[in-house]
A and B are shown apart, each in its own frame.
Chain A
């Protein structure tokens, strides 16, 4: 079918969500805008998302990437649970990245659980864009 329309081509689709209760959405919003400006389609689901809601939205929206922002310290519980639900939905090929207050000592645990990248305070958005472009499934 027609390919002449320059915008009607494959886009990287990213779900940006805040699991758990913390309401600090500055980082999630800045990253959402930066990804949009890098040409991606960002499904922004906003605050107070349970792992189940996130996994379901990822499935319905058929996203390539899930970006999760947690500043409350609940990441060690919430992130592995989300990855597990993705696995149950046969979506293990989705790239999962996380940002927020994540101590270095928790990173191996999250990597082990299936979180592909973590980005703490002071991350440049261009580094997140680059990481997605390099690691997203073909």
Chain B
């Protein structure tokens, strides 16, 4: 495991190769991740999301420069979509990040989604761990920004910055994209364009509505919605995982975080200090309110569930006779069988297969 040790020591070539290993999901990926896991948990993970054309990459460029000016090591992961037709991808975010070249305190990695929906690649969370363990204090994650519901970043990052730009239609794009509620900070970028004040005011108004006392329940449900059924897991932690710090069952209204709206002109660096401050304020809030532990826990529980689901699926598929799978799929396609019954039959079948294989192995 020389590679892991070198990566932990900050060797950039090793970091890059380790991310590749994890991305390619090879047999040694699992072992490497186990090895680096104890060293993770240090970095502040900042997600940047928003519709195409809002200037995410330029903003990431400026944020990274500002973090560097404060002498913090910055990792950047920029995600772009994989073509569903060819499986290939064009990853172009580096074009906007050329200022970061030549600084050994920055590491930029482009990732293709490789079929994953939700704005991130399957391996993004693990790539973050590599950068985290290698000593990058801030890890900025730029999502695809395809305009779809990119809520995965809310499960991955500590602080989510949603980027808006005026002049791209009348409404706030984040509403259309379904990502309004995941924001901890809003950056109204390209603020020199007409309509920037209107966009910022519209956001403030929506946030004010969200702060009324009666929205208490909404606030709770907000978290529930974003993190799926996992909020329940956090509220009633199963004994086996209840080893972390106590998780607040409810965040009181007075201590609840109200997202900050910042106007920026990323191309000129305007508003970047304010944005950095907003991110720092949110971090501060996370720490003092115990929300950090809460979020970490949700994130890790989530991740555990994903891994479990993948592993189970993997094991399951290994046990199912491919010819049975194909025949069931054909029946479903021909409307001879409904998918629910098919799934149940497959599950039943897999247990049989297990027994058969066991006896066969013996």
What's the least CB distance linking B350 to chain A, in Å? Answer: 14
The answer to whether B313 touches A53, judged by C-beta atoms less than 8 angstroms apart, is no
Does B112 reach chain A (CB closer than 8 Å)? yes
The answer to whether B83 touches A37, judged by C-beta atoms less than 8 angstroms apart, is yes
A6 to B115, CA, bound (A): 8
Q: Which of A50-97 contact B (CB under 8 A)?
A: 50, 52-53, 56-57, 59-62, 89-91
Residues of A within 8 A of B110 (CB): 43, 61
Does B88 reach chain A (CB closer than 8 Å)? yes
Does A109 reach chain B (CB closer than 8 Å)? no
A40 to B114, CA, bound (A): 11
User: Which stretch from A7-15, A98-106, A112-120 is at the chain B interface?
Assistant: A7-15
Partner of A53, one of B25, B82, B86, B98: B98
Q: Which residue of A lies closest to B22 (CB)?
A: A1
Q: Which residue of B lies closest to A50 (CB)?
A: B101
What's the least CB distance linking B139 to chain A, in Å? Answer: 14
Residues of A within 8 A of B27 (CB): 1
Q: Which residue of A lies closest to B113 (CB)?
A: A7
Does A21 reach chain B (CB closer than 8 Å)? no
The answer to whether A44 touches B114, judged by C-beta atoms less than 8 angstroms apart, is no
Q: Which of B303-361 contact A (CB under 8 A)?
A: 310-311, 313-314, 317
A6 to B112, CA, bound (A): 14
Partner of B88, one of A9, A41, A45, A46: A41
Partner of B25, one of A3, A13, A42: A3
Residues of B within 8 A of A46 (CB): 92, 94-95, 98
Residues of B within 8 A of A39 (CB): 86-88
The answer to whether B16 touches A53, judged by C-beta atoms less than 8 angstroms apart, is no
A7 to B103, CA, bound (A): 33
Does A136 reach chain B (CB closer than 8 Å)? no
What's the least CB distance linking A72 to chain B, in Å? Answer: 19
A11 to B91, CA, bound (A): 13
A56 to B122, CA, bound (A): 25
The answer to whether A7 touches B90, judged by C-beta atoms less than 8 angstroms apart, is no
Partner of B91, one of A1, A5, A42: A42
A7-B108 contact given A35-B88, A39-B86, CB 8 Å threshold? no
Partner of B314, one of A2, A56, A60, A62: A2
A138 to B320, CA, bound (A): 32
**Which among A38, A40, A50, A62 has the highest number of chain B CB atoms within 10 Å?**
A62
Q: Which residue of A lies closest to B310 (CB)?
A: A2
**B interface residues, how many (CB within 8 angstroms):** 41
Residues of B within 8 A of A128 (CB): none
Does B13 reach chain A (CB closer than 8 Å)? yes
The interface residues of chain B, by DSSP majority, are classed as: mixed
Residues of B within 8 A of A37 (CB): 83, 85-86, 88
Does B109 reach chain A (CB closer than 8 Å)? yes
Residues of A within 8 A of B101 (CB): 50, 52-53, 56-57
Partner of B20, one of A6, A7, A8, A62: A62
A9 to B115, CA, bound (A): 11
Does B30 reach chain A (CB closer than 8 Å)? yes
A32 to B86, CA, bound (A): 13
A11 to B317, CA, bound (A): 23
The answer to whether A60 touches B313, judged by C-beta atoms less than 8 angstroms apart, is no
A6 to B95, CA, bound (A): 29
Residues of A within 8 A of B87 (CB): 7, 11, 39
Name A's B-contacting residues (CB within 8 A): 1-11, 13, 32-33, 35-46, 50, 52-53, 56-57, 59-62, 89-91
Q: List 6 A-B contacts (CB under 8 A).
A: A2-B311, A4-B317, A57-B94, A60-B107, A61-B16, A61-B110
* Given A2-B311, A44-B91, A45-B98, 15 further pairs, Cβ under 8 A: A2-B314, A6-B115, A8-B123, A9-B25, A10-B26, A33-B90, A36-B88, A37-B83, A37-B85, A39-B88, A41-B91, A43-B110, A57-B101, A62-B16, A62-B19
Name B's A-contacting residues (CB within 8 A): 12-13, 16-17, 19-20, 24-27, 29-30, 82-83, 85-92, 94-95, 98, 101-102, 107-110, 112, 114-115, 122-123, 310-311, 313-314, 317
Q: What 10 A-B pairs are tightest by C-beta distance, nearest first?
A: A7-B115, A36-B88, A62-B16, A46-B95, A2-B314, A2-B310, A53-B101, A7-B114, A10-B24, A39-B87
